[in-house]
A = this chain, B = another copy of it.
């Protein structure tokens, strides 16, 4: 973690979870933020019974339904483990308190939000600009670890296509 975060170390609790564990369910209000020590999480939304993965997170990532965590609104997505994980968790209460006590933490949190904003915008542009095939090639180039580590059908929905279509794209050479 970064400097400002070190000061909260004592507020974190270690949690181990097996694969496919739901840490936050779509529609619920987020009360916890997760720091991934080991393993891999995904966020996903429900679309008429079909799961659409919106993002993957790996070691050293901070994960929360930011909107829900910040505004106490129901989360737009679920958070789930893809592998057995070792997590460090902090409650919203403790985090809010820390925000007020450590201005640098507040600054870093705003910066984090800003980076997330840029990332989400960049991915959005990729959608507007590129075909599914190109999006896959882009992912292969920029985040090969996702493709090596995550089952293919999750990646398909992340790319906005069906598993069948992704399988075709991969074998189209």
Contact = CB atoms under 8 A, between A and B. Distances in A.
Chain A: interface size category: 20 to 34
> Copy number of this protein in the oligomer?
2
A169 interface: no
Interface string A119-157: 011111101110000000000000000000000000001
A137 B21 CA distance: 36
For the residues of A in contact with B, the DSSP-based class is helix
7 contacts: A54-B124, A67-B118, A70-B114, A113-B114, A113-B117, A120-B121, A127-B127
A45 B128 contact: yes
B117 A54 contact: no
Nearest to A129: B47
A96 to B, nearest CB: 16
A124 B127 contact: yes
